[in-house]
Amino acid sequence: MALLLDAGGVTADVARIFVGAGLDPEASRTVAESLVEADRLGLASHGVMLADMYVKRLKAGSVSVQSEPETVSDRGTSVVLDGRHAFGVLTGDFAMQKAVEKARVHGAGVVAVRHAFHFGAARRFALAAAEQGCVGIAMCNTRPLMPAPGGAERVVGNNPLAIAMPCEDATPFVLDMATSEAAMGKIRMAAKSGAAIPDNWAVKADGSPTTDPVEAIEGMLLPTAGPKGFGLAMMIDLLCGALSGGASGGAVKPLYGDPALPYDCSHLFMALDMGHFVDPAEAKARVDAAAQRIRSGARAPGVARLYTPGEPEWRRREALGEQVAVDPSVLAALTELARELNVDLTTISKQIA
């Protein structure tokens, strides 16, 4: 069972680990905040469990200590950045802010990033734009993890997509989805805990069904909604890779592969300034009305509540207050990591002790 800890304390501890691994303090804080925020939202597959893998890559050199990407081209509404293999949350924050700045002037801003690294939960970047009055869109590609419908080989990643709409409601209106039925991180969490997975999450290497997470990791993820999810994943892969001039398909390397080999994925960020299209207040009112229509809609038998896109995660975060739930096995891994780096922890160490 996950333990509830002070979110600020865990963030400080995780930041210390990254500083100990050679990242500067400000960047370390940003990376730590993004991981802890994912856990607070219930997205453990994008949470602090990633710190161990992140640090291994940092120490091996496939993730750089750079804090900002390099501009390759800047042409009005469109920008191409070289991520220089820096942490994806750092280059992602930079890229989306650049997209918002472009949208302020031109109505739309599109920023593609090549030579990028894992950026965590995509909703972070889409919401950053929405909070500034822009529709925010964020996506990235991953190494091939899913087969074509009926196939028995990996041809495309479970490439995530997030879209956030500006609204007045305190609850964000945001879609954040992977294009697989389940994220690989969830399957890895199941493998760590020895739990079975649903039979529609993945298949074995030969394409046959499985409920064993270990077989799933060695096999292939299944696209959500079959051919529809597969098609969407392919389009995201090509949009990210083609517009950035970066990697797509098999050129993106395994995230949990050789830590010395760059992941080398590609990202795409878009911002649409509401004010260049319609009255922003009216647009936000429409989003709020749509949210209310969903929540007050007729419910099926046994359903207590209806939610807007992204709301369940937000409600979970609100319910936890200033706490975060972290699995004991993850805390143990962080403690060992801190020991290896000769870093003193506070909040996490108290729990392990």
CA atoms within 13 Å, Cβ hemisphere of 65: 11
Residues 6+ positions from 344 with CB-CB distance below 8 Å: 16, 338
From the candidates 106, 118, 267, 276, give the one annotated as an active-site residue: 118
**Calpha distance 160→269 (Å, rounded):** 12
Q: How many CB atoms lie within 10 A of CB 158?
A: 26
Q: Helix count (H) and strand count (E) of the chain?
A: 12, 11
118 in active site = yes
**Calpha distance 110→190 (Å, rounded):** 37
- For 189, phi then psi, to 5°, come to -65, -40
Q: Are strands 265-273 and 70-75 parallel, antiparallel or unpaired?
A: unpaired
Q: Where does the chain show beta strands of DSSP type E?
A: 3-6, 70-75, 78-82, 108-116, 134-140, 161-165, 173-177, 202-203, 220-221, 265-273, 323-326
Residues 6+ positions from 268 with CB-CB distance below 8 Å: 110, 111, 112, 113, 137, 138, 139, 140, 236, 239, 240, 243, 244
Structure tokens at 218: 């060695």
Structure tokens at 276: 């260049």
Locus of tokens 């495309």? 156
Structure tokens at 165: 């709409």
Which residues are part of the catalytic machinery?
118
